[in-house]
Chains A and B, each alone.
Chain A
Amino acid sequence: MNVDPSNALMRDAEAASAEGIPPKMVARSVNVHYGATHALKDVSLDIQGYEVTALIGPSGCGKSTVLRCFNRMNEMFENTQTSGQVTIDGMDIYARDIDVVALRARVGMVFQRPNPFPKSIFDNIAYGPRIHGLAETKEDLEQIVEASLQRAGLWDEVKDRLKQSGTALSDGQQQRLCIARAIAVQPEVILMDEPCSALDPIATGKIEELIEELRTGFTIVIVTHSMQQAARVSQRTAFISRGELGEYGPTVEMFTKPRHERTKDYIMGRYG
């Protein structure tokens, strides 16, 4: 890794990986253009394994774009151009011979609005394992579905109605279904784009507990608009403003003594 030591942000990142464990995912000088819009400017970010990293920042600053860089979902949109380097375990995910399908099996994603497939709860979870051939037999598949739902804390609520449509659940349940769906493919990283913004406080609480729980098995990157949520669930926080990485460090430090004026203003609610 070629790191320019004079860059202050880089030093933040270095400091973050204090214990010397190599980061799970690394973004270096990433630029994203949507047509004429320059959405991300030279963003570099390390995501530490088995931690929750929160991305905060004002609306439209590019948080979702950063998130989508990690599983190449930006390519869904027409006229998107991405430059720079993003690696997972040191492997460049934008290299030519990379299979996006395999990448997305390693880096799962949960969206702002719950988007279960209009199929049964079982099929929602089973879809990923099926297309990746993770289950040899039907029993295997059932086991994966049960384990994923257990892990997402939804099993007890839906175990009697697995044949029912996934869209018939409540919003909070739907979002946990989407998390279970992401877990079912056994990814290494889970990206969450404002997973609680469509939910009420109780459902939000459940998801936050779930995230805390999931940290033991997965690396999580979460975009959130709620400072409290970032403070509650994350170990590290990155503040993004106007397509640039404003500040990045351990969450505790960020919320107690932010280094930059802009970060401080945003956290105090004076800017956004």
Chain B
Amino acid sequence: MTPSHLLSLGVIISACFFLFARFRIRAATLQEQAPSTSLPRFYGWYAAVLAFVPIFLGVCIWVFASTTIVEILLVNRLDSLFASLPEGGRDRFLAEMYSFLDGQPLRTPSPDIAAAANMLIGLRTPVVTTIIALSTVGALSLGFLALRFIEPRFNAHAHIDRTVVFLLLLCSILAIIATLGIILSLLFETVRCFEFVSICQLFSTDWLPRAGNQTALDGDAGKYGVLALFSGTFLISFVAISIALPIGLLVAVYLSQYASHSTRRISKPMLELLAGIPTVVYGFFAIVLVGPFLQRIGGFLGLDVAPQSAMAAGAVMAIMIIPYVSSLCDDALSAVPSALRNGSLALGSTTAETVLNVLLPAALPGISSAVLLAVSRTIGETMIVLMAAGLAANLTLNPLASVTTVTVQIVQSVTGDVEFDSVKTLSAFMLGMLLFVTTLMMNVFAFSLRRRGISHGEV
């Protein structure tokens, strides 16, 4: 039996209760000679929904939590074994057991591990059986309970409506849970990371994380200085913004002030096209064209350009964010009251003078907010830098050198064999936390700037 089978069983049970309940309310109205408050189908729904709740919970527990429950039971049984293991040995033992179960053992399993794996498999069946039994019994009893409630004066429709609204509320709370999940998972693993890495260590320039088993061998957890990562991130971001901002701003000004209607009608979708291209495609573009091209130009000029340079990543990222920057600048420009623009034009200024002397100063808060949002976008961008920038941490301001970024190192730390007890994996979450805080602050600041810009514009 799989969760989907249980789900089907639930649907069948609910359908039965739907029919029962409808039959029952029809009989009751005939008997009492009184019309029912709601239509018969609402009584049906009432019983069906009530009966479905336990099954749904059961399926959720099965899908999300059964493995955890089984593990807890197993750990309880093997208490004495784990007591003899060194610190952290339990997690490693479990990890090894899971990889043995997956059929990809890290090394030939010890008899203990094989025995534990067998015990785990043995525990799965009773746990699943219990879940199925409990949810089915729950469904039947709630269904019969619902049938007992049903009588003509009972307003089933109102109950159904309230249930629906509750469901809607649950759905919107899920959005909070997602954010909370991000924050909590980052926070939790970051705290664990700081058990191994001291905070002062972050403010150094060496980034040399070590994988789990190596840590166990020599006790050296590696070096976790994030300065070089952030310098690389901001270097690429700086390159990207210094290309994209002038171009994006000029495009926005041109399209809003000069361009004919037909140019606008063609250009806007083209820019949207540029914005809709996945970042992995830009990364590919950087690998096959921009990187080699820059290297060739560098060779021609006698400059030493790394094959994977901050310049290449920044340039491609600039192409990616030009549409974003130009649409944000467009918003900022159009938030400027037209009276200001018309006033300046009426004084005999040319369009260029109006733009430079009136529009841009008035739109400055909006444009700054656009820059911040764009920077936050480039900092969080992963694929382009992963493909176009380097891997080695390198504290430099030279855009032609190879640098690495926070996002690249996150990917590097958690691809391949992930062990959740290794400092290397935990360091990815620590970097994620730093990234989250940085981008969140920028976004919040950018939104407040924009709001100020708009209210300023309306005065």
Contacts and interface: CB of A to CB of B under 8 A. Distances in A.
How many A residues are at the interface, by size bracket?
under 10
A99 B39 contact: no
A101 B39 contact: no
Interface string B138-162: 0000000000000000010110000
Contacts of B439: none
A132 B37 CA distance: 10
Contacts of A101: 157
A84 interface: no
A205 interface: no
B57 to A, nearest CB: 30
A97 B75 CA distance: 54
A132 B42 CA distance: 11
Contacts of B157: 99, 101
A118 interface: no
How many B residues are at the interface, by size bracket?
under 10
Nearest to B36: A133
A133 B39 contact: yes
A69 B121 CA distance: 66
Interface string A96-125: 000101100000000000000000000000
A101 B155 CA distance: 11
Label chain A's interface by main secondary structure.
helix
Interface in A233-248: none
Contacts of B40: 133
B158 to A, nearest CB: 7
Interface in A201-216: none
B165 to A, nearest CB: 14
Nearest to A102: B37
B300 to A, nearest CB: 65
A101 to B, nearest CB: 7
Contacts of B155: 99
Nearest to A130: B39
Contacts of A131: 39
Contacts of A132: 39
Contacts of A102: 37
B37 to A, nearest CB: 6
Contacts of A133: 39-40
A223 to B, nearest CB: 30
Contacts of B39: 131-133
Max count, chain B CB within 10 A of own CB: residue among A99, A131, A132: A99
B264 to A, nearest CB: 32
Nearest to B161: A101
Interface string A119-153: 00000000000011100000000000000000000
A53 B226 CA distance: 79
A102 B39 CA distance: 11
Nearest to B158: A99
A132 B155 CA distance: 14
Nearest to A97: B155
Interface in B29-65: 37, 39-40
Interface in B10-42: 37, 39-40
A113 B37 CA distance: 32
Interface of B: 37, 39-40, 155, 157-158
10 contacts: A99-B37, A99-B155, A99-B157, A99-B158, A101-B157, A102-B37, A131-B39, A132-B39, A133-B39, A133-B40
Given A132-B39, A133-B40, 8 more contacts: A99-B37, A99-B155, A99-B157, A99-B158, A101-B157, A102-B37, A131-B39, A133-B39
Q: 4 closest A-B pairs (Cβ-Cβ)?
A: A133-B39, A99-B155, A99-B37, A101-B157
Interface of A: 99, 101-102, 131-133
